[in-house]
Amino acid sequence: MAEVNRVAIVTGAGSGIGREVSLQLAGVGWRVALVGRTLGKLEAVAREIDSGERTLCIAADVGEPAAAGRIVAAATQRFGRVDALVNNAGHAPMKPFHQFSDSEIQGVFEVNVLGAIRLTREAWRNLADAKGRVVNVSSYSTIDPFAGLGVYSAAKAGLNLFARAIVNEGRGVLGFTVAPGAVETEMLRSIVPSSALPTNKTLAPADVARVIVACAIGQRDQDAGSVIAMPSP
């Protein structure tokens, strides 16, 4: 199948890593379903790609249980297939884990791991038909947890194992986990000021996206089931 016919769903596509992944996938001919909470941001990314013929914007919060089915239904109705799923959405409130309420813990897990599992479940038949790929965007904090990100790190760690579980299902779908360190994104700067972590100590979203895209389009199949660590400089 030509690359121009392939379809990816990318969550957290309105900014940062997700935006770069979407642009790079489109750059190699893929059609992209852009998923995020803010429609305006998704539409801005879509305009960078084309007039809308090769993109679909889906405003949704992957932390809501009902969102996964709606996202996959919209993507398949528009494009007819799903060849890759990039679970990039993240929610990283920063404070000591013992200060989290039950609802706050639940919210972190809903976005960072449960939403990814639900999306993969809903897209599974399409992914199996396409012998497709799932790329989970985890965090280097699952290897070396940052202070104040214990709950986030625990949630993202679930994605590391989930990639292996996808491979072990035996349906020909390959799962990957990319675990970057601090990446220069809006999410990072919402919790860590540049005075505490200068830009020269962070990764560029485009560099992380290149690894994710390589996994999604079949250039790193040898890494299926593993965690691809990308520590900060």
Residue 112 carries which DSSP code? I
Q: Report how far residue 84's alpha carbon sits from residue 104's, in angstroms, rounded to the nearest whole number.
A: 30
Residue 149 carries which DSSP code? -
- Cβ atoms of 183 and 233 closer than 8 Å: no
Amino acid occupying residue 24 = Q
Catalytic status, residue 140: no
Q: Report how far residue 201's alpha carbon sits from residue 126's, in angstroms, rounded to the nearest whole number.
A: 39
Neighbouring CB atoms inside 10 A of 145's CB total 18
Neighbouring CB atoms inside 10 A of 160's CB total 19
Q: Which of 152, 162, 224, 228 is catalytic?
A: 152
- List active site positions: 152
